[in-house]
């Protein structure tokens, strides 16, 4: 790294790649013209055919615990308060340990040598936690 550049962390609110708006999910794989189909009498067998033709689309995600429905109770973006940290220095194991030990940090995921994601506990002040991380990391990097 250039000796004239200062170490910095740029914070960005994490955006859930699965989206946040459940109501915007409107999917019907069976849109078409069924006017010419014969009327079907109500029987158990015919009801099964109707269900097969018009299934309810359900969002689901694969997890280590199996496939689970994706809703407000399982959406990580709604459960956790995630923030991305972008750096211009390597996120070493030592730096990762410093971040993990900051009070208020629930989770830490290091994605690349310059990018990480944290979840801040809901009982903590986001900006204070990020200031604490910046301070401790800058102190560590200046002492190296």
Domains along the sequence of the chain with CATH: 9-19+77-143 (3.30.70), 22-69 (no CATH)
Of 102, 129, 92, residue with least CA distance to 11: 129
Let me know: does 124 contact 103? Beta carbons within 8 Å.
Answer: yes
Neighbours of 56 (CB within 10 A): 7
Q: Which residues contact 37 (CB under 8 A, 6 or more apart)?
A: none
Q: Is 19 left (phi over 0), alpha (psi -120 to 50) or beta?
A: left
* Predicted local distance difference test score (pLDDT) of residue 16: 73
* Predicted local distance difference test score (pLDDT) of residue 112: 97
Residuewise pLDDT in 10s, the chain (144 residues): 444 469 999 999 988 766 654 444 443 443 444 344 444 455 556 655 655 555 566 777 677 778 767 666 655 656 678 999 999 999 999 999 999 999 999 999 999 999 999 999 999 999 999 999 999 999 999 986
Largest Cα–Cα separation, the chain: 80
* Predicted local distance difference test score (pLDDT) of residue 37: 44
């Amino acid at each position: 790294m250039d000796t004239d550049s200062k170490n910095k962390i740029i914070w960005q609110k994490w955006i859930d790649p699965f989206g946040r708006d459940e109501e915007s999910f409107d999917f019907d794989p069976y849109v078409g013209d069924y006017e010419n189909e014969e009327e079907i009498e109500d029987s158990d067998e015919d009801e099964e055919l109707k269900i097969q033709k018009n299934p309810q689309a359900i969002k689901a995600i694969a997890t280590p615990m199996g496939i689970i429905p994706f809703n407000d109770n399982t959406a990580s973006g709604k459960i956790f308060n995630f923030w991305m940290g972008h750096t211009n220095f390597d996120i070493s194991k030592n730096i990762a340990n410093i971040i993990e030990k900051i009070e208020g940090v629930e989770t830490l995921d290091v994605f690349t040598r310059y990018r990480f994601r944290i979840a801040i506990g809901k009982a903590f002040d986001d900006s204070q936690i990020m200031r604490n991380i910046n301070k401790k990391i800058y102190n560590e990097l200046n002492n190296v």
